Structures are given as C-alpha cells and as structure tokens.
Amino acid sequence: MELVEMKKLQVQLDAFAGKDVYLHLETTNGSYASHFNEAFFNAGAFIRNVVINYELGKVIGDSPHRVGLKLPHGWVYAQGITHYEMDEQGRLLLAGHDGTGKLAVALQISETPFSY
C-alpha cells in the first residue's frame, strides 16, 4: 500500500462510480482493547460483500483522509484513511493505519466479490 495521493485516488473513485460494486467497510480497535484497558469502550463495525452503486465518490484533502460515497438512497463514508492500493485484481483498497501501523479502518470496493 502507498500513502494516499489525493488526485490519483479521486480518479480511481470516479472509475467505479455508476457501477455495481462489492463493498468492504470495517472499523476496529482490535479485540484486545478492553483487555489492555478495561475502561476502554470497544466499538466497531464490519460489512463485507454488500453490493452498492454510488453516483459520486469523493476523497477529502485533510490527512488522514475522509472518503464518502453518495448512493441514490444513502451514504457510505470512512474517516482515517491513510493508505491505498489498486491491487492486481483491480480492487480499490483503502486503509487507515494508526501511528503504530495497526489497521483502524478499511474501505474497499471491487467489481467482483471479495473472498468469503
């Protein structure tokens, strides 16, 4: 993965607009957060291989970045995006890694389903 380059990422987001795409969206603090700090309120969400079709995708300039997808009847967004990659299978993988490198958020879109 590489650090997000705004302009390149915007072009890639545009390329998926108006198509049926599979979505992976995840936020996480890790399952051990409340083990190491019992006062920690551990919240997160995960969705994988739900089909969406967005009309507008946008990456915002502040770093870490926010990325939003406008749907005909709703929205998808993620914040904390630091890295991106168009993988060899043509899937757009966005991720937010915290200061120690740990994944905190992932937003991925693909024209074919992600594995299980």
Kindly state the smallest distance separating residue 85's Cβ from other proteins, in Å: 6
Residues 6+ apart with CB under 8 A from 76: 23, 25, 52, 54, 68, 69, 107
Q: Write out the binding residues for other proteins, residues 28-87 only, by CB under 8 A.
A: 28, 30-32, 35, 38, 46, 83, 85, 87
36: helix, strand or coil: helix
As a whole number of angstroms, the distance between CA 109 and CA 116 comes to 15
As a whole number of angstroms, the distance between CA 107 and CA 85 comes to 11
* Residue 106 near other proteins by CB under 8 A: yes
* Residue 111 near other proteins by CB under 8 A: no
Which residues contribute to the site for other proteins (CB under 8 A)?
1, 24, 26, 28, 30-32, 35, 38, 46, 83, 85, 87, 91, 93, 95, 97, 100-104, 106, 108, 114-116
